Structure 1
Amino acid sequence: MAEPGQGPIVAELGRPETPQETAARKAKNSREYRERKTVSNLVYALVACVAVVVVIVLAVPRGDQPLHPDIDVPAIAAQAQAGSDGPLAVPDLPDGWSANAAELRRSQTDGITAWYTGYLTPSDEFIGLYQGLDANATWSAELLARTLATGTVQIDGVDWTIYDNRDSTDDLGNARYGLVTEAGSTVFVLVGTATDAEFATLAAAIADTVQAQQ
């Protein structure tokens, strides 16, 4: 046993610890205790934050509205029809398609007005439909990032010029693939990132409108 006034026997030393060793031991124990408390507090804080997030997620009401609202293209086209002598393209598309835009647009460079509708396809890609009123080749070239034609295709009796830029390393925005056809003074441009089959579906859906302009 340690003598009165002496510190406890240190097993490793076989003697009472000195006052300095006692102070060092207590300081070490105090430091280790604070470190354990800090880690515990961090764990408690993390658990509390996760609990709050879960409560918020469960409390927020979720409706049935889609992430991308489906625009009522026929209704908007009916309002915009006054700006066009010919019928505006309002394609009847199968399930899985949705419209995210429909409006008349006026080019800032040449003043050409176009009926524009944007579509999200079943493969979650995009096609923009432009119907240029009294348009020209310069106007359509701008939409296609001034890329070159790569072929032609006939879809439901309408001949389209193909602009396939999918292998290009240039930043062409949405002009990865395009179809262009002229009908009288109207130029139709389909441009976007969708598959060939989806472009063909949209082109077929407006074939009657294109032929009515010829």
Structure 2
Amino acid sequence: MSEQQQPDEPVVTPTLTAKQAKRANATVIGMLIATGITLAIVLLPVLLNPAQKPQIRDVDVQAIAAEAAADAGYDPLAPELPDGWTSNYARWDSGLNSGVPAWEVGYLTPEWDFIRLTETASANPTWISQTTEDSLVAGERIVGGTTWQLRDGSDGEAHLVTEVDGKTVILSSEGDLATVDLLAEAVLRDLAAASGE
């Protein structure tokens, strides 16, 4: 049978001596100081380094397109861009994974909108669906006198798709469609120049 405290017995409350209280407080204060020093060491380099701006990589699309022309069998698109636009990549995709060889260029507007251009002479419905990330047809858009199919992706990305002179061109962006229209017009001018119109 366990001993139980009798109701008339006084409750014992532990008390700390002055030295014990000082040691207990010293441990807490030491821990706070160590935490503060650690935070200072971690935050100091972060605060001393200015915020990094995204690097602008402006590749020579026309030169890369000229190199890709032999593989493509046609002159890949390299339109003249509005002032302030840059291109951060241009490449020929042999179609090893997709089965459709294509020309791809990434453009960056002065407002930091990204627009991807994809061009091929071998498009099929499956490839178009994959390239537009299974987006749904939302209607049509007339740009530069040409009808473009407008597709809306579930991730907020819009795609303009058209076929000109046997080539399928897809422009993809999360940016404003009016900005995408500027690239679409430049693409049509480039295609017209290539066909001698």
Question: In structure 1, how many angstroms separate the alpha carbons of the residues matched to 2:21 and 2:86?
Answer: 62
Normalised to the residue count of structure 2, the TM-score between the two structures is 0.73
Query: In the alignment, residue 67 of structure 1 is paired with which amino acid?
Result: P
Query: Among residues 91, 95, 101, which one is paired with 2:89 in the alignment?
Result: 101
Question: In structure 2, how many angstroms separate the alpha carbons of the residues matched to 1:95 and 1:36?
Answer: 65
Query: Among residues 25, 29, 52, which one is paired with 1:36 in the alignment?
Result: 25
1:150-169 matches, within 5 Å, as 150-165=138-153
The structural deviation recorded for 1:142 is: 2.0
What is the match of residue 54 of structure 2? 67
The structural deviation recorded for 1:198 is: 1.5
What is the match of residue 139 of structure 1? 127
CA deviations on 1:155-206 (whole Å, 9 max, x unpaired) are 22332111134xxxxxx457x3111111222110112311111211111121
**2:35 corresponds to 1:46:** yes
**2:190 corresponds to 1:209:** yes
Give the match's secondary structure for 1:129: strand
What is the match of residue 6 of structure 1? none
Contact kept in structure 2, 1:123 and 1:194, CA below 8 Å:
no
Q: Unmatched 5+ residue regions in structure 1?
A: 1-19, 166-171
Structure 1 stretches of 4+ with a deviation exceeding 6 A read: none
Contact kept in structure 1, 2:79 and 2:186, CA below 8 Å:
yes
Question: In structure 1, how many angstroms separate the alpha carbons of the residues matched to 2:83 and 2:29?
Answer: 54
Query: In the alignment, residue 87 of structure 1 is paired with which amino acid?
Result: D
Aligned-pair RMSD on alpha carbons?
Answer: 3.2
The structural deviation recorded for 1:54 is: 4.8
- Relative to structure 1, the CA distance from residue 210 to residue 66 in structure 2 (aligned partners, 3 Å threshold; closer, same or farther) is farther
What is the match of residue 129 of structure 1? 117
Contact kept in structure 2, 1:88 and 1:209, CA below 8 Å:
no
Give the match's secondary structure for 2:88: strand
- Relative to structure 1, the CA distance from residue 53 to residue 146 in structure 2 (aligned partners, 3 Å threshold; closer, same or farther) is closer
Give the match's secondary structure for 1:163: strand
Normalised to the residue count of structure 1, the TM-score between the two structures is 0.69
The structural deviation recorded for 1:34 is: 2.5
Question: In structure 1, how many angstroms separate the alpha carbons of the residues matched to 2:21 and 2:71?
Answer: 79
Query: In the alignment, residue 184 of structure 1 is paired with which amino acid?
Result: D
What is the match of residue 196 of structure 1? 177
Contact kept in structure 2, 1:117 and 1:130, CA below 8 Å:
yes
CA deviations on 1:102-152 (whole Å, 9 max, x unpaired) are 211133465211010123344444321101133233321221234442222
The structural deviation recorded for 1:68 is: 3.8
Query: In the alignment, residue 36 of structure 1 is paired with which amino acid?
Result: N
Question: In structure 2, how many angstroms separate the alpha carbons of the residues matched to 1:198 and 1:149?
Answer: 20
